[in-house]
C-alpha cells in the first residue's frame, strides 16, 4: 500500500481549514473578494494586459529576436544570458511582475534560452513596475513623491545586483546543445551585428509562419487568460489575509516577526508591514507607509523589502507561469529573498546622499494622490510613461551593447 504524499496532505489540510474559515467569516470573505476584484480590474488588468499582448506580438513578428542579437554582446558576458535577456529585462522593469517571467517562459518554450538561463532571467527581471512604485507606494501610501527616487534606486539597483549574482547559478560546461546551436550552428555569426539582427528577425518570422491576424488573435487570447489567472490569485490571497486576520491568526505571526525584528535592531512596529508584505505586496507597502513613531528610513526600507520580495501572491503568479516548463521555482525564491535584503540595505546606504538631493523632507514633496480620480483613469494616464521608460531602457541597453561589441572588436584586432 502506497503512502500519501506529505505535501499533498498538507495542502489538503490547509484547503479544508481555509474553507472552514470562509464559512465562519462569510461577510469578511465577501468583502475581501470584492476588494481583490476591484484591485485587479482597476489597476492590474489595464496595466498588465497591454504588455502581455505586445510581448506576444513582438515574439511572433521577430522583434524580440532582433533586439536579442543586438544586445548579445552585453548580456552574455555580464549576466550569462543571451541578448534576448536584455529585452526581457527592459520589458520586466517597465511593466512589472509577472511580465518578465511570462516572456522568459515563452522564450524557453521556443528553445531560445536554456533552463539555467531562463532561471537567471526570471530571478532578476521580476520586479515592480514604475507606475506602482511611484504612484501607489511613494505618492499614494507614503504621500511623499520624493521617495520615488530612493525606492527606485534601491529596488532596481538590487535587481541588477541579483542578476550579477545569478550569473554564477548553473554549470559552466559547454556541452549544452541549445547553447552550441546558438553560438556555433548559426551562419549569421560571421556577418555584421546589425545584419545579424535583421536576419535573425527574418528567420524568426519565417519559422513562426502564422499570419499577422492569427498572431494578434492568439496574443489577445493568451493575454486575457494570463490576466484572469492573476486576478484569481489576487482575490484568493485577499480572502486568505482577511480570514486569517478575522480569526486572529495573524496576531501570532506578528509576535514571531516582532521577535525577529528586535533581534536585528529593527523597529518592531514594522511587523504588520513585513507579514502583510510576505503574503501580498500592496498590503505590505500600505502598512509600511502607514507605520508611525519611527524614522522614515525604516519605513522606506520595509517598503523596499516588500516590493522586492513581491509577496506570495506574486510568487503564485510566477509558479502559474512556469508550471508548464521545467524552470524551477527554488532559484527564483532564493533570488527574491536576496533581492529584498539587498534593496533594504541599499535604502540605508543611499539615504544620506539621496534624501537631501531629492528633497525628501521638503514640504513640496509631500503630494497626496487625488483619490477622487478613478484609478483606471489614472493608470491610463500614466501608461504612456511605461512605454517611454521601456523605449529609454532599450536605448541605454543598445548603447551599452554597442560599446561592448566595439570593445570586443578592438580586443580581437589587438590579439591578431
**Per-residue b or e along 310-323, where b marks 16 or more CB atoms closer than 10 Å to that residue's CB:** bbbbbbbbbbbbbe
DSSP sequence for 260-281: HHHHTT--GGGHHHHHHHHH-H
Q: Is 68 part of any domain?
A: yes
CB 269 within 8 A of CB 294: yes
User: Could you give the 3-state DSSP secondary structure of residue 305?
Assistant: helix
DSSP sequence for 128-141: --HIIIIIIIIIII
Q: What cell numbers appear for 364 in the block?
A: 513640496
Instruction: Identify the domain containing residue 194 by its residue range.
Output: 26-165+188-415
Q: What is the biggest distance separating any 2 CA atoms in the chain, rounded to whole angstroms?
A: 77
Q: Is 117 part of any domain?
A: yes
**Per-residue b or e along 228-261, where b marks 16 or more CB atoms closer than 10 Å to that residue's CB:** eebbbbbbbbbbbbbbbebeeebeebbeebbeeb
Q: Is 200 part of any domain?
A: yes
CA dihedral 292, 298, 304, 309 (to 10 degrees): -90
pLDDT of residue 333: 93
pLDDT of residue 123: 92
Q: Rounded to an integer, what distance in angstroms lies between the CA atom of residue 121 and that of residue 98?
A: 12
Q: Rounded to an integer, what distance in angstroms lies between the CA atom of residue 280 and that of residue 114?
A: 31
C-alpha gyration radius of the chain: 23
Mean pLDDT by 10 residues, the chain (416 residues): 65 84 88 86 78 81 80 84 84 81 88 91 88 80 86 92 89 49 43 76 83 89 86 85 85 89 89 90 87 90 94 88 89 94 92 78 46 43 52 61 64 62
Whole-model pTM: value is: 0.76
Q: Is 205 part of any domain?
A: yes
Q: Is 170 part of any domain?
A: no
Q: What cell numbers appear for 96 in the block?
A: 512589472
Find the DSSP H helices in 40-176: 45-61, 63-79, 84-95, 99-109, 115-125, 130, 147-166
Q: Rounded to an integer, what distance in angstroms lies between the CA atom of residue 172 and that of residue 168?
A: 9
Angle of helix 45-61 relative to helix 63-79, nearest 10 degrees, comes to 100
Structural domain count, the chain: 1
Q: Is 7 part of any domain?
A: no
Which has the closest alpha carbon to 84: 107, 101, 109?
A: 107
Q: Is 193 part of any domain?
A: yes
pLDDT of residue 374: 43
3-state helix, strand and coil shares in percent for the chain, rounded to the nearest 5: 80, 0, 20
Q: What is the distance between the terminal CA atoms of the chain, rounded to a whole angstrom?
A: 69
Cell 502559474, residue located: 320
Which has the closest alpha carbon to 157: 405, 354, 298?
A: 354
Q: Is 2 part of any domain?
A: no
Amino acid at each position: 500500500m502506497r503512502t500519501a504524499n506529505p505535501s499533498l496532505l498538507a495542502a489538503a489540510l490547509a484547503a479544508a481549514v481555509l474553507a472552514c474559515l470562509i464559512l465562519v467569516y462569510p461577510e469578511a470573505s465577501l468583502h475581501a473578494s470584492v476588494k481583490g476584484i476591484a484591485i485587479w480590474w482597476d489597476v492590474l488588468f489595464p496595466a498588465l494586459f497591454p504588455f502581455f499582448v505586445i510581448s506576444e506580438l513582438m515574439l511572433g513578428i521577430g522583434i524580440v529576436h532582433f533586439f536579442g542579437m543586438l544586445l548579445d554582446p552585453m548580456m552574455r558576458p555580464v549576466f550569462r544570458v543571451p541578448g534576448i535577456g536584455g529585452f526581457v529585462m527592459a520589458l520586466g522593469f517597465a511593466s512589472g511582475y509577472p511580465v518578465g517571467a511570462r516572456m522568459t517562459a515563452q522564450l524557453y518554450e521556443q528553445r531560445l534560452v536554456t533552463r539555467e538561463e531562463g532561471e537567471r532571467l526570471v530571478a532578476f527581471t521580476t520586479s515592480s513596475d514604475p507606475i506602482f512604485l511611484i504612484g501607489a507606494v511613494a505618492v499614494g501610501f507614503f504621500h511623499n513623491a520624493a521617495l520615488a527616487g530612493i525606492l527606485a534606486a534601491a529596488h532596481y539597483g538590487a535587481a541588477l545586483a541579483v542578476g550579477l549574482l545569478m550569473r554564477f547559478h548553473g554549470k559552466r560546461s559547454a556541452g549544452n546543445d541549445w547553447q552550441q546551436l546558438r553560438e556555433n550552428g548559426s551562419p549569421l555569426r560571421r556577418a555584421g551585428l546589425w545584419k545579424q539582427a535583421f536576419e535573425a528577425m527574418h528567420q524568426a518570422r519565417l519559422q513562426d509562419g502564422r499570419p499577422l491576424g492569427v498572431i494578434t488573435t492568439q496574443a489577445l487570447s493568451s493575454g486575457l487568460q494570463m490576466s484572469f489567472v492573476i486576478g484569481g490569485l489576487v482575490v484568493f490571497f485577499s480572502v486568505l489575509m482577511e480570514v486569517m486576520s478575522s480569526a486572529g491568526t495573524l496576531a501570532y505571526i506578528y509576535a514571531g516577526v516582532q521577535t525577529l525584528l528586535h533581534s536585528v535592531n529593527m523597529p518592531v512596529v514594522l511587523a504588520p508591514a513585513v507579514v502583510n508584505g510576505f503574503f501580498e505586496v500592496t498590503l505590505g507597502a500600505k502598512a509600511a507607509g502607514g507605520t508611525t513613531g519611527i524614522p522614515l528610513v525604516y519605513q522606506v526600507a520595509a517598503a523596499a523589502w516588500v516590493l522586492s520580495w513581491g509577496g506570495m501572491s506574486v510568487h503564485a503568479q510566477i509558479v502559474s507561469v512556469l508550471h508548464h516548463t521545467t524552470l524551477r521555482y527554488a532559484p527564483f525564491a532564493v533570488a527574491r529573498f536576496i533581492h529584498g535584503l539587498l534593496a533594504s540595505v541599499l535604502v540605508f546606504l543611499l539615504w544620506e546622499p539621496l534624501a537631501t538631493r531629492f528633497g525628501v523632507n521638503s514640504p513640496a514633496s509631500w503630494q497626496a494622490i487625488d483619490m477622487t480620480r478613478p484609478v483606471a483613469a489614472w493608470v491610463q494616464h500614466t501608461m504612456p510613461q511605461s512605454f517611454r521608460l521601456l523605449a529609454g531602457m532599450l536605448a541605454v541597453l543598445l548603447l551599452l551593447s554597442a560599446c561592448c561589441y566595439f570593445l570586443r572588436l578592438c580586443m580581437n584586432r589587438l590579439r591578431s
